[in-house]
Structure 1
């Protein structure tokens, strides 16, 4: 039986009559990860930032979760807000939700921006190991190790406060929700459905991203989605934080604001 959608915690900002842009973040993040984008984007868009199920202020239903469950949560939110179509921008796990919506509910999207994400992880060992670690000790002990892969060494050295804030965000993620989302990523494989994505798609990748490197992850998505365009930034996994001006400009241009 398909689990019921949950009511996602979200923040809704910007002009009510502007085009709507949804921002959906990574595993272990909250909607605060989009802070660099809020001010510039909310001048041109009605910006809706969301917390995934199991994250931030959203409910933590029993796991395991699947990306389809998170997409159902997103659609339930759009319905609750009376929004027929939105531009979607997702980073990492948020990009996976966007890919699912792009193929299974394209009529609800005007455009799709996929940041530092993947249609499939060829080696699921990383997720098996992560699940075991969280099951035994929770998210807090592994937060610093995870975040060390999210920024380039140069950026991390120059912005230790940002790195510390991001690690705290991961550590504060509910253990049950984080683990259940890891179970979703462990089995995620959307490669066969990429050809069904019919909305204009921009893929943003980080040249120094060890979590979802350009090859094979970004290139698999670009090769699979008809007409998709690739932009590579000099950043690691959280390219929207490390290169905020470039990332924000690309997101805004593609979303049509």
Structure 2
């Protein structure tokens, strides 16, 4: 168990692979922990230093009082990377993790040399939508939202698998405070202008059945960055790294190799 004490928050993280290799950092989605990437890590090229972490209010990290700002979430991983001595990373973020990826890439270009914005957007939803979701969590807990969230997360066929139950449990066991806090961070974020200023290798990944961040939103966001690439994964919802891990890993590995990050 590795935990970085950053003062106002304690972040649980893993640091695997070659300690002297090119670093790759993964940032997961709302309502999941670093196990989101379990199927992807073994398929990565040899020689990488692989860092995953639980954002505040999720997994085994501490859960400060809500609400959170996107600036705080970006600052958390910025401090974690500084703590670990990581520079020039390839940063992979999914959903809220993709927003964190955008914010960090703009704020600290020394930390990020290439970015993957997966199932995310420069702006996701509306303030009213997130206010309703936060109110629902406060009134009835995450369980009250779970079935609707699962519909957005996964294509219909995945709902009939045993694994589906585990992912639903991961969602509902997320602290209400952490889920509401990160929902507030998404609600207050619009990265259209900052993301358009980026000039680094960038890849957007979307799932064809994603009910949270549809492919058109991901494409619109990644197209803000000149020279970026876009990949669509069929028969996958909001978490294609779970539903279609082989295809996700293939796309990611092509990008890793294409940017010379090996």
2:119–2:205 Cα contact (<8 Å) kept: yes
Root-mean-square deviation (CA, aligned residues, Å) is 1.7
Secondary structure in 2 matching 1:11: strand
- Partner of 2:61, secondary structure, is coil
What does residue 227 of structure 1 align with?
A: 227
Shifted more, 199-208 versus 121-130: the winner is: 121-130
Match of 1:94 in 2: 97
1: CA distance, partners of 2:221 / 2:13: 27
Q: After the TM superposition, which of the residue ranges 34-43 and 144-153 deviates more from structure 2? A: 34-43
Rounded to whole Å, the distance in 2 between the matches of 1:206 and 1:111 is 21
In structure 2, what is the Cα distance between the partners aligned to 1:144 and 1:116? 19
CA contact (8 A) 1:103 1:197 kept: yes
- After TM superposition, give the deviation of residue 4 of structure 1 in Å: 6.6
**2:68 matches 1:65:** yes
Q: Deviations over 1:57-102 (max 9, x none)?
A: 1111122111111111001111111112211001101110001112
Tell me the residue number matched to 2:3.
none
Q: How far off its partner does 1:123 sit? A: 3.0
Tell whether the 8 Å contact from 2:125 to 2:187 is kept in structure 1 after alignment.
no
The superposition leaves residues 155-200 of structure 1 with CA deviations (integer Å, 9 ceiling, x where unpaired) of: 323x2x2211111011111111110111111121101111222221
The answer to whether the Cα contact below 8 Å between 2:40 and 2:245 also exists between their aligned partners in 1 is yes
Q: 1:121 aligns with which of 119, 124, 138?
A: 124
C-alpha separation in 2, matches of 1:134 and 1:162: 24
2:197 corresponds to which residue? 196
Extract unaligned runs of 5+ from structure 2: 1-5
Shift of 1:5: 5.6
- CA shift, 1:103, in A, is 1.6
Equivalent residues, number: 252
Structure 1: gaps of 5 or more residues = none
> Residue in 2 aligned with 1:179?
180
1:108 and 1:240 map into 2 onto residues whose CA distance is: 24
SS in structure 1 at match of 2:238: coil
Distance (Å, rounded) in 1 between the aligned partners of 2:171 and 2:18: 31
Mapped to 1, the partners of 2:219 and 2:244 lie a distance apart of 20
Corresponding residue number in structure 2 for 1:249: 250
- Asked whether the 8 Å contact 1:202–1:230 carries over to 2, the reply is yes
CA distance in 2, matches of 1:125, 1:19: 41
Q: CA deviation at 1:153?
A: 0.6
